[in-house]
Chain A
Amino acid sequence: MELRPQKVALKTISYLILFFFALVTLFPFYWMIITALKDSNSALRWPPELWPKTFHWENFDRLLKAAPFGRYFMNSVIVVILDLSISMIVMSFAAFGFAHYNFRGKEILFMLFLATMMIPGEALIITNFRTVAKLGWFDTYHVLFVPYIASVFYIYLLRQAFESVPKQLYLAAKVDGCSDFKYFLKVLLPIARPMLITIVILKVIASWNSFMWPLLVTNSSRMRVISYGLVAFQSEAGNDFPLMMAASIFTVGPMIILYLIARKKIIDGIAKGGIKG
């Protein structure tokens, strides 16, 4: 067993490297939180405070007085809730239509749906920008999510989930006098629950973090979502880094909490084929 010390050394080095990269990953978050609690001058000084002597919780009060982050935050919450409730209906309906019925041209239609996954959203934004302008949708809640309520990738995942349910269940439901819609609602959706939850979580993250589209289609500060509010605040904050970092915490905080609660769901969902970033 002369290999032993070598093996221990190898393990130690492995852990050291892993800890190093964990540090690299976490440091910006640590710096964000710690800076948010410093006073504005000490955030500029050398040597930096790695742990503030006093915690300046009043930075959050100052932030809310400087810019309507409460409003931005609520706008984001409202958009995420509206987005989820409508898109989950649209997507699960479409998945049911594809999974449950057979009609001529179905697979061609589905291929057409799937083909859209290759198109970068950036190529569509140009026309969509004009479409929503013509519809008079600027500065509304619905403009922020309606173009994205039919994510083909999630329709695809849901179709697979629905198709994996044995046909016998449908026949049994039919015998009991169940309509197709009732079967969808009472049988299929409950069975597909794990997949639905995964999609809901991934959609929440994407909706909350969306940036370019809100930047284009909202002008008034009343309609800003949090990511846009953050960018707009940057020019006002200047070198007041604690305020800037406090504002950033408002933006990343909810997603970090969601991640810590639903870590396994999120990681499994992405690992199983999170094609859409």
Chain B
Amino acid sequence: MNDNSFKKAIPYLIPAIIVLTVFTFYPLFNAFVQSFNRLPNPDNYELSLKTYQWLFKDTTFLTAVKNTLVYSLVTVPISIAISLMIAALLTSINRLRVFFQTVYFLPYVTSAVAVAFTWGYLFNADYGLINQIMHNVFNLPKIPWLRSPDYAMSAVMIFGIWRSLAFNVLILTTGMLSIDPQYYKAARVDGANNATTFFKITLPLLAPVVSYVFTIGLINAFKVFTEVYALIGSSARVYKANTMVFYIFDQLWVYKDYSLASAAAIILLLIILVLTAFSRWLSAKTDYMN
């Protein structure tokens, strides 16, 4: 019976198994092996720990790690704080809620590249609206946002926060709307004001959802690439805006050094695995309902 069932199932499963084997399992295994390969050419092998030693001595990589950390630790909390406020306001109104929700989610479905170019125009040193207003209205000096090591990362982070609001607002609003109204009724009977209700009821009940968007946000932030590439361009390294995935991309595309690219990818993979494990732990700990 069992064997017969397996024979019947296999034609349905085989296409997915082949694709996943070739394009997911094998590359994962191979990235691991390559990361220990001393030779940059992947057809010859000489396994050693050298690649990782080089990687951690490579100042470009260390800058990339630092930039990725700064990007993640700045954009994720700010984005979630703003999203929490928007979600709280959205749940407190009835009229126009659908309209606002529709608007806020728009950046999620639109190409990061195309929107980044509009932001690139807004950030343009000479003709961008941001500098024009700063200069002509407030008499401040023009800032070379995208062409300076001091500001490039800030511009990427502003754009990153703007883009990530869409997902966070949606998930947090959905979470808040699913809180049982009974709790709020009870709070009102006890005479709790809005702020107390938010901090003593909404936030604790929402903790699993917040930890979920926090983790997803961190994972996506650690993988940031398109935002940098489209806004700053291939010279992101010069302007100190390169990130870990940018480093992988550079090693792969420009330097053809598969070993260093693999080693960097394995480090990224480890970070993401730790974040995933952490989120499991966090959501188990914060789930008061179950």
The answer to whether A258 touches B90 (Cβ under 8 A) is: no
- A226-248: contact bitstring with B at CB < 8 Å (1 yes, 0 no)? 11001100100001010011011
The yes or no answer to A94 lying at the interface (CB within 8 A) is yes
Q: Tell me which residues across on chain A come within 8 A of B82, comparing CB atoms.
A: 21
A103: contacting residue among B6, B115, B225, CB under 8 A: B6
Query: In the assembly, what is the distance between CA of A15 and CA of B100, in Å?
Result: 10
- A100-111: contact bitstring with B at CB < 8 Å (1 yes, 0 no)? 111110100100
Known contacts A97-B9, A126-B248: A147-B28 contact under CB 8 Å: no
For the A-B complex, the count of residue pairs with Cβ-Cβ distances under 8 Å equals 258
Q: Tell me which residues across on chain B come within 8 A of A175, comparing CB atoms.
A: none
Query: In the assembly, what is the distance between CA of A255 and CA of B108, in Å?
Result: 10
The yes or no answer to B218 lying at the interface (CB within 8 A) is no
Q: Tell me which residues across on chain A come within 8 A of B273, comparing CB atoms.
A: 118
Not counting A120-B219, A231-B230, A259-B106, a sample of 20 additional A-B residue pairs whose C-beta atoms are within 8 angstroms of each other reads: A14-B92, A18-B89, A21-B165, A24-B162, A28-B115, A35-B118, A35-B121, A118-B272, A120-B223, A122-B225, A122-B268, A123-B28, A124-B31, A127-B27, A211-B113, A230-B111, A230-B114, A255-B110, A259-B105, A274-B167
Q: Tell me which residues across on chain A come within 8 A of B101, comparing CB atoms.
A: 267
Query: In the assembly, what is the distance between CA of A100 and CA of B252, in Å?
Result: 42
B20: contacting residue among A28, A126, A152, A244, CB under 8 A: A152
A244: contacting residue among B30, B115, B117, CB under 8 A: B117
The answer to whether A259 touches B109 (Cβ under 8 A) is: yes
* Interface locus among A42-50, A55-63, A65-73, A77-85: A42-50
The answer to whether B2 touches A104 (Cβ under 8 A) is: yes
The yes or no answer to A11 lying at the interface (CB within 8 A) is yes
A123: contacting residue among B9, B229, B269, CB under 8 A: B269
The answer to whether A28 touches B122 (Cβ under 8 A) is: yes
Quote the shortest CB–CB distance from A40 to chain B (angstroms): 11
Known contacts A18-B90, A127-B26, A130-B258: A25-B165 contact under CB 8 Å: yes
Q: Indicate the member of A24, A119, A152 with the most B CB atoms within 10 Å.
A: A119
Q: Tell me which residues across on chain B come within 8 A of A113, comparing CB atoms.
A: 16, 20
B252: contacting residue among A129, A155, A275, CB under 8 A: A129
The answer to whether B118 touches A28 (Cβ under 8 A) is: yes
- Which residue of the partner chain B has the closest CB to A268? B174
- B67-92: contact bitstring with A at CB < 8 Å (1 yes, 0 no)? 00000000000000010011001101
- Which residue of the partner chain A has the closest CB to B261? A126
Quote the shortest CB–CB distance from B18 to chain A (angstroms): 9
Classify chain A's interface size: 35 or more
The yes or no answer to B132 lying at the interface (CB within 8 A) is yes
Query: In the assembly, what is the distance between CA of A129 and CA of B273, in Å?
Result: 23
The yes or no answer to A141 lying at the interface (CB within 8 A) is no
Q: Indicate the member of B17, B108, B225 with the most A CB atoms within 10 Å.
A: B108
Q: Tell me which residues across on chain B come within 8 A of A267, comparing CB atoms.
A: 101, 105, 170
The yes or no answer to A161 lying at the interface (CB within 8 A) is no
Provide 19 A-B residue pairs closer than 8 Å at the C-beta atoms, listed in order of the A residue.
Answer: A15-B93, A31-B122, A93-B12, A102-B5, A116-B28, A119-B24, A120-B269, A120-B272, A122-B248, A123-B28, A128-B27, A131-B22, A131-B26, A147-B19, A216-B253, A244-B117, A245-B118, A267-B101, A270-B108
The answer to whether B103 touches A25 (Cβ under 8 A) is: yes
The yes or no answer to A146 lying at the interface (CB within 8 A) is yes
The answer to whether B265 touches A123 (Cβ under 8 A) is: yes
A120: contacting residue among B85, B119, B268, CB under 8 A: B268
Known contacts A126-B252, A131-B23: A97-B117 contact under CB 8 Å: no
Q: Tell me which residues across on chain A come within 8 A of B265, comparing CB atoms.
A: 120, 122-123, 126
| 8 A Cβ contacts from B246-289 to A | 248-249, 252-253, 258, 261-262, 265-266, 268-269, 272-273, 276
